[in-house]
Structure 1
Amino acid sequence: MEPKIQATVDRLVDAFIDRGRAELVDELSTPLPLDVITQLYDLGPQQTEDIRSYSLEFLEHASGPRSREILDRVCRYWISLFDERRAEPRDDFLTGLLESNEALGASDGELANMMFILTYAGHDSTALGLSNALLYLAEHPDVQQRLVDEPKLVPSMIDEILRYETPLHWFPRQLTKDACLRGQHMQAGDRVLLLFASANRDPEAFDRADEIVIDRRPNRHLAFGAGIHTCPGMALAKLETKLAVETVLRRIPGFRIDGGVTRTDPLEGGGRHLGVRTLPVTW
């Protein structure tokens, strides 16, 4: 997908480069991953726009009372698309999903929820991570120059920002058996929080854990989880972020903050979302 992703990045940058300023969250960090994830579905232009609209609406209200209503509406929309594919199968993602499910027997409601999770997880966390990287670069012209001089450091810089500014702080899990961790006894069935952001600042695992070291190697951060729960979209998210950062460094070198930067609310997403909501820059 690299050529398609690069084409999307270039199209987005083309839209603002002549202005000499941009709001990088609305104009790059948010639309890029949403465009990429909807490309995977091979939907028509109107259907793609509908899914984007629903996803952005949920993103705006994810922590509020309207989230349930929006989610139900999104799931009804996916179910209507399932009905269309059953009536007229195509060589696309949704048809393949429905055919694969014949052996599994999941309900349309379950499949619709899965499609929502794929879409939301496929853009929100990537947008948060990309916005964190762009903010750091906008605030550190010396690092921008170093990456221009040493472009091979871009992937390690991205990993380090993911470690230091973990986009999704925590995830819940349910214990399948009794356990004891550092004197804390827990029972099967208990729900626990895995604090990925805390682990990513663990001084026992990372030297200079509270500093950004852009050439840190190795960097076994947990921004994408670990083990069998590792994010299946990790490679795609890293590729999107890498291409976006490389393009920005190449096409708008020396970009810097130009106005007020807004970070995510401390309670957004139940207190686990860390990113940037507005990032005005000039160059």
Structure 2
Amino acid sequence: MSPEGNSINNVERFSGFAAIYDQHRPEAPEAIVSILTDYLEHRPDLVMDVGCGTGLSTLIWRDHAEQIIGVEPNDDMRSKAEDKLSVTNNAGHITFVQGYSNQLDTPDESVDIITCSQSFHWMEPVSTLKEGQRVLKQGGIFAVYDCDWPPVVNWRLEEEYLHLIQQADALIAQFTEKESQAVKRNKDEHLQALRNSKAFRYTREIVFHHIERCDAERYVGLALSQGGLQTVFKLGLEQLNPSIETFRTNAQQFFNGKPRDIMFSYRLRLGIK
């Protein structure tokens, strides 16, 4: 039974594709650790990564905090994170737990940093930020960060990528009842949500970029890891298949068997208690 304010549709949206998600999505960049540690002004004792998925945004803290807890309500995603943790060296101070953003199993004023990587838009913001205010120490940081989709590489491929997402959203709207659809909130409203909570004495947005190597398989995999496309697959719909194959062919032609640099643009919104 999930706490009030949480949508089971949002949780279940991420079932069934943890492997492809983890294989192709970017790990959180080291800049996150650097920025947040500098703002905290000391090495954190406890970092909670809320909505941590497969741990791509959790394990980056391994050498930078005394204790790290990844919180994830989806069993498939959390199981993948735990599998990765089992083969990670020097990670006894990291744990993954089942939980929700508005009901964290930790005492008042016990957490230095809360992070929500690619996840805050799936959470009920008012109750989540109220819970964040409860568990954060004075001077602690609530940090929400997302990368823009698609990553920067070639305008034609990016246009096709976006079109796939739009097609998927249209199919979901056509073939599922409104009450069974996930609720995705506007990321552009994250900073204002932090300010409206009155929980933080300082808030701001920080924009930065991160370069990664990518080949055609991964670029296509990034698109296929989007929750909307995965929802279409789970519905058993085949209308996207021709567009996916065209996208795959064009990506293979563009990358021409060689990896290239692609740019992920990140938007970090944070509040300091």
Q: TM-score normalised to the size of structure 2? A: 0.30
- Highest relative contact order (Cα 8 Å, sep 6+), 1 or 2? 1
Structure showing greater Rg: 1
Q: Which has the higher strand share?
A: 2
Q: Which has the higher helix share?
A: 1
Q: TM-score normalised to the size of structure 1? A: 0.29
